[in-house]
Structure 1
Amino acid sequence: MSDATPGTGDRLLHMCSREEWRAAQRDGVRVPDGFAADGFVHLSTPAQVHLPANRLFAGRRDLVLLELDPARLSDEVRWEPGVPSDPASMRFPHLYGPLPVAAVVRVQDYLPDPSGAFPPLG
């Protein structure tokens, strides 16, 4: 990893649907639909994953969180600003290459609360 910033020791997470995770397991890598346009895979820390979840997936009940071992990522991770509505000092990890399935050390369901909102993980 490079571009180390405070918080780089945190766990890295990637959010996707169960179906997308099954496809990644079959293919050996996860390449999100937006990868060609963005040039990177969006990642988060546990303390920030609720921000993109609520912005993009409010109410969905088919999401999983992939917990990653940063040492198993062969491509660069850069800590960069999110969208303008995110806190100004917050930086999100972005993986500049496909996400290898071999880097995933844990998979857990990520469910919204009864209101449809995703809570912070802390």
Structure 2
Amino acid sequence: MATIFHIAFPDQWEAAVEAGCYRWSTRGKSLDDGATFIHASRPEQVAMVANFAYDDVDVPLCLLVIDTTRLVSALCDEDLDGTGMSFPHIYGPLNLDAVVDVRPYHRGPDGLWPEVSEQAVS
């Protein structure tokens, strides 16, 4: 199973469960607002993304653990910013059965969002 993560606000995930699919691209942007894909990360990218895009968030987040073999929408690994680092992007809604776990994600004692280890996904 290939696994990727999506950082989410718990209330947005709960709303997605009620709606039947998840449509949030990233913080403050959804597929309904014109975003073309849902941002995701490999385990080693989660903390970097969280500490950049959610640096001022002081509430716990959650990590959607996504089994890529269950995705209905297309998955592309892309370096859209030309930084030399590619990220997984889901082009369309995230089907709920592809989310195999939802984990609480809290800041560490140092105030930073913590790393996610490769072992945590196996």
Shift of 1:46: 0.8
Q: Which runs of 5+ in 2 are unaligned?
A: 118-122
Q: Does the 8 A contact of 1:76 with 1:97 survive in 2? A: yes
CA distance in 2, matches of 1:116, 1:37: 32
Q: Relative to total residues, which structure has the larger helix share, 1 or 2?
A: 2
Q: Matched residues in 2 for 1:11 and 1:60: separation?
A: 26
Provide the alpha-carbon RMSD of the alignment: 1.8
What amino acid does structure 2 have at the position aligned with 1:51?
M
Report the counterpart of residue 103 of structure 1 in structure 2: 98
Higher strand share: 2
1:9-88 → structure 2 map (5 Å cutoff): 10-32=2-24, 33-35=29-31, 36-58=33-55, 59-81=57-79, 83=81, 88=83
Q: Distance in 1 between matches of 2:80 and 2:45?
A: 10
Note if contact 1:10-1:45 (Cα within 8 Å) is conserved in structure 2: no
| C-alpha distance in structure 2 between counterparts of 1:83 and 1:61, whole Å | 28
Give the aligned length. Answer: 111
In the alignment, which residue of structure 2 is the partner of 1:3? Answer: none
What TM-score results when the alignment is normalised by the length of structure 2? 0.80
Percent identical pairs in the alignment equals: 32
- C-alpha distance in 2 between matches for 1:81 and 1:24: 27
Q: Which has the higher contact order (CA 8 A, sep 6+)?
A: 1
Q: Secondary structure at the match of 1:78?
A: strand
Residues 46 and 115 in structure 2, CA contact (< 8 A), matched pair in contact too: yes
Superposition misfits of 4+ residues, deviation over 2 angstroms: 33-38, 58-62
Distance 1:82-1:47 versus aligned 2 partners, 3 A rule:
farther
Structure 1 unmatched ranges of 5 or more: 1-8
Q: TM-score, normalised by structure 1?
A: 0.80
